[in-house]
Amino acid sequence: MAFQSNMFASHILDSRAVLSQPNSTAYITNKWVFDIGGSAALPFLRQILVANVAKLTSAGMGLQSRVNGFCAHQNIVLDVYYFSESAFRIVVDTNQPQTFANWLTQFESYFDIDVIAREDLAVLSVQGVDAFATLVEEFSLTPGLRLSDQQLRFGAQSGAVFLTAVSSDNVNRYELIASESELASWQSRFTGLGFNANAA
Protein backbone atom coordinates (compact mmCIF):
# COMPACT_ATOMS: atom_id res chain seq x y z
CA MET A 1 0.00 0.00 0.00
CA ALA A 2 1.85 3.05 -1.23
CA PHE A 3 1.67 5.92 -3.66
CA GLN A 4 4.29 7.98 -5.43
CA SER A 5 4.44 11.72 -4.78
CA ASN A 6 7.19 14.23 -5.48
CA MET A 7 5.58 16.87 -3.28
CA PHE A 8 6.69 17.31 0.32
CA ALA A 9 5.68 19.55 3.21
CA SER A 10 6.92 21.25 6.35
CA HIS A 11 5.24 22.96 9.29
CA ILE A 12 5.21 26.72 9.76
CA LEU A 13 7.10 27.41 12.98
CA ASP A 14 8.74 30.36 14.68
CA SER A 15 11.89 30.97 12.62
CA ARG A 16 13.96 31.46 15.77
CA ALA A 17 12.96 28.01 17.01
CA VAL A 18 13.79 26.40 13.67
CA LEU A 19 17.22 28.02 13.48
CA SER A 20 18.11 26.70 16.93
CA GLN A 21 17.34 23.06 16.11
CA PRO A 22 20.45 20.83 15.91
CA ASN A 23 20.64 18.34 13.05
CA SER A 24 20.04 14.83 14.36
CA THR A 25 18.66 11.43 13.42
CA ALA A 26 17.47 8.53 15.59
CA TYR A 27 15.38 5.38 15.45
CA ILE A 28 11.97 5.60 17.13
CA THR A 29 11.45 2.21 18.71
CA ASN A 30 7.95 2.78 20.11
CA LYS A 31 6.24 3.58 16.79
CA TRP A 32 4.46 0.89 14.80
CA VAL A 33 2.91 0.95 11.35
CA PHE A 34 -0.44 -0.49 10.27
CA ASP A 35 -2.04 -0.35 6.83
CA ILE A 36 -5.84 -0.37 6.72
CA GLY A 37 -7.70 -1.07 3.50
CA GLY A 38 -11.21 -1.92 2.37
CA SER A 39 -14.47 -0.27 1.41
CA ALA A 40 -15.26 0.55 5.05
CA ALA A 41 -11.81 1.91 5.96
CA LEU A 42 -12.99 5.51 6.25
CA PRO A 43 -16.18 4.78 8.27
CA PHE A 44 -14.11 2.58 10.56
CA LEU A 45 -11.51 5.26 11.22
CA ARG A 46 -14.23 7.87 11.75
CA GLN A 47 -15.63 5.66 14.48
CA ILE A 48 -12.42 4.91 16.38
CA LEU A 49 -10.57 8.25 16.06
CA VAL A 50 -11.21 11.62 17.69
CA ALA A 51 -9.91 13.64 14.72
CA ASN A 52 -12.15 14.21 11.71
CA VAL A 53 -10.43 11.99 9.15
CA ALA A 54 -13.21 12.69 6.63
CA LYS A 55 -11.48 15.96 5.77
CA LEU A 56 -8.48 14.02 4.45
CA THR A 57 -9.15 13.93 0.71
CA SER A 58 -5.71 14.27 -0.92
CA ALA A 59 -3.14 11.49 -1.08
CA GLY A 60 -0.44 12.01 1.51
CA MET A 61 -2.42 14.27 3.83
CA GLY A 62 -2.60 13.17 7.44
CA LEU A 63 -3.71 14.05 10.95
CA GLN A 64 -2.59 13.34 14.47
CA SER A 65 -5.37 11.85 16.57
CA ARG A 66 -6.22 9.97 19.71
CA VAL A 67 -8.32 6.85 19.76
CA ASN A 68 -11.92 7.45 20.81
CA GLY A 69 -12.52 7.17 24.54
CA PHE A 70 -14.85 4.18 24.38
CA CYS A 71 -11.92 1.76 24.38
CA ALA A 72 -9.00 0.87 26.61
CA HIS A 73 -6.59 2.47 24.14
CA GLN A 74 -7.98 5.99 24.51
CA ASN A 75 -4.61 7.48 25.51
CA ILE A 76 -2.82 6.20 22.43
CA VAL A 77 -1.69 8.87 19.97
CA LEU A 78 -1.36 8.01 16.31
CA ASP A 79 -0.88 9.62 12.92
CA VAL A 80 -3.26 8.62 10.13
CA TYR A 81 -2.38 9.13 6.44
CA TYR A 82 -4.80 9.12 3.52
CA PHE A 83 -3.80 7.12 0.45
CA SER A 84 -7.30 6.75 -1.03
CA GLU A 85 -10.89 6.39 0.22
CA SER A 86 -10.19 2.72 0.81
CA ALA A 87 -6.56 2.84 1.92
CA PHE A 88 -4.98 4.48 4.97
CA ARG A 89 -1.80 4.13 6.98
CA ILE A 90 -1.58 4.69 10.72
CA VAL A 91 1.61 5.14 12.72
CA VAL A 92 0.99 4.36 16.36
CA ASP A 93 2.96 5.50 19.39
CA THR A 94 2.67 2.63 21.87
CA ASN A 95 4.78 0.40 24.08
CA GLN A 96 2.25 -2.41 23.66
CA PRO A 97 2.10 -2.99 19.90
CA GLN A 98 0.75 -6.53 20.10
CA THR A 99 -2.07 -5.51 22.42
CA PHE A 100 -2.99 -2.67 20.10
CA ALA A 101 -2.74 -4.94 17.03
CA ASN A 102 -5.08 -7.47 18.65
CA TRP A 103 -7.56 -4.72 19.48
CA LEU A 104 -7.39 -3.28 15.96
CA THR A 105 -7.70 -6.54 14.03
CA GLN A 106 -10.84 -7.58 15.92
CA PHE A 107 -12.75 -5.00 13.87
CA GLU A 108 -12.10 -6.95 10.68
CA SER A 109 -15.08 -9.08 11.76
CA TYR A 110 -17.40 -6.06 11.93
CA PHE A 111 -16.19 -3.82 9.10
CA ASP A 112 -15.19 -4.53 5.52
CA ILE A 113 -11.53 -3.82 6.25
CA ASP A 114 -8.17 -5.53 6.21
CA VAL A 115 -5.61 -4.59 8.85
CA ILE A 116 -1.97 -5.31 8.04
CA ALA A 117 0.59 -4.97 10.82
CA ARG A 118 3.72 -3.82 9.00
CA GLU A 119 6.28 -5.57 11.15
CA ASP A 120 8.69 -5.27 8.23
CA LEU A 121 8.87 -1.49 8.69
CA ALA A 122 10.80 0.66 11.15
CA VAL A 123 10.77 4.41 11.84
CA LEU A 124 13.72 6.81 11.72
CA SER A 125 13.44 10.46 12.74
CA VAL A 126 15.34 13.30 11.10
CA GLN A 127 15.23 16.82 12.49
CA GLY A 128 17.18 20.04 12.61
CA VAL A 129 17.67 23.30 10.79
CA ASP A 130 18.89 21.49 7.64
CA ALA A 131 16.52 18.51 7.79
CA PHE A 132 13.90 19.66 5.29
CA ALA A 133 16.39 20.86 2.68
CA THR A 134 18.41 17.66 3.06
CA LEU A 135 15.40 15.40 2.55
CA VAL A 136 14.20 17.39 -0.45
CA GLU A 137 17.65 17.12 -2.03
CA GLU A 138 18.37 13.48 -1.17
CA PHE A 139 14.95 12.16 -2.20
CA SER A 140 14.44 14.51 -5.18
CA LEU A 141 11.27 15.99 -3.70
CA THR A 142 9.50 19.25 -4.50
CA PRO A 143 9.00 21.58 -1.51
CA GLY A 144 5.41 22.71 -1.69
CA LEU A 145 2.97 22.53 1.20
CA ARG A 146 3.33 24.58 4.39
CA LEU A 147 1.35 23.14 7.29
CA SER A 148 0.04 25.75 9.72
CA ASP A 149 -1.74 23.33 12.07
CA GLN A 150 0.57 21.32 14.35
CA GLN A 151 -1.88 18.39 14.16
CA LEU A 152 -1.55 18.13 10.38
CA ARG A 153 0.74 15.56 8.81
CA PHE A 154 1.95 14.89 5.28
CA GLY A 155 3.51 11.81 3.75
CA ALA A 156 5.26 11.09 0.45
CA GLN A 157 6.57 7.85 -0.99
CA SER A 158 10.03 7.95 -2.56
CA GLY A 159 11.30 4.58 -3.68
CA ALA A 160 11.31 2.23 -0.69
CA VAL A 161 10.87 5.04 1.85
CA PHE A 162 7.67 6.68 3.10
CA LEU A 163 8.64 10.15 4.37
CA THR A 164 6.41 12.05 6.76
CA ALA A 165 6.35 15.61 8.06
CA VAL A 166 5.38 15.74 11.73
CA SER A 167 5.69 18.42 14.40
CA SER A 168 5.88 18.43 18.18
CA ASP A 169 6.96 20.94 20.83
CA ASN A 170 7.54 23.57 18.13
CA VAL A 171 10.08 21.34 16.39
CA ASN A 172 9.90 20.35 12.72
CA ARG A 173 10.57 16.63 12.61
CA TYR A 174 10.43 14.19 9.76
CA GLU A 175 9.98 10.45 10.05
CA LEU A 176 11.18 7.93 7.49
CA ILE A 177 9.36 4.61 7.33
CA ALA A 178 11.04 1.69 5.58
CA SER A 179 12.80 -1.60 6.26
CA GLU A 180 15.52 -1.55 8.91
CA SER A 181 18.22 -2.20 6.32
CA GLU A 182 16.98 0.67 4.16
CA LEU A 183 16.89 3.03 7.12
CA ALA A 184 20.36 1.95 8.26
CA SER A 185 21.72 3.06 4.89
CA TRP A 186 19.94 6.38 5.15
CA GLN A 187 21.08 7.03 8.71
CA SER A 188 24.64 6.42 7.59
CA ARG A 189 24.09 8.88 4.76
CA PHE A 190 22.69 11.52 7.12
CA THR A 191 25.56 11.17 9.58
CA GLY A 192 27.92 11.63 6.66
CA LEU A 193 26.11 14.90 5.97
CA GLY A 194 26.71 16.10 9.52
CA PHE A 195 23.60 14.86 11.35
CA ASN A 196 24.19 13.53 14.85
CA ALA A 197 23.03 9.92 15.22
CA ASN A 198 21.29 9.60 18.58
CA ALA A 199 20.68 6.33 20.38
CA ALA A 200 17.28 4.70 19.90
Burial tier of 97 (Cβ tally within 10 Å: 0-12, 13-18, 19+):
middle
- Structural domains in the chain? 7-29+120-197 (3.30.70.1630), 31-117 (3.30.70.1400)
CA–CA dist 2, 159 (Å, integer): 10
Of the candidates 127, 117, 120, the one whose C-alpha atom is nearest the C-alpha of residue 175 is 127
Mean pLDDT for all residues in the chain? 89
CA atoms lying within 13 Å on the CB side of residue 195: 26
Residue 90: φ, ψ to 5°: -120, 140
Question: pLDDT tens digits for 63-107?
Answer: 999 998 656 666 788 999 999 999 999 999 998 899 899 999 999
CA–CA dist 184, 180 (Å, integer): 6
Question: pLDDT tens digits for 95-142?
Answer: 889 989 999 999 999 999 999 999 999 999 999 989 999 999 999 999
% the chain with pLDDT above 70 = 88
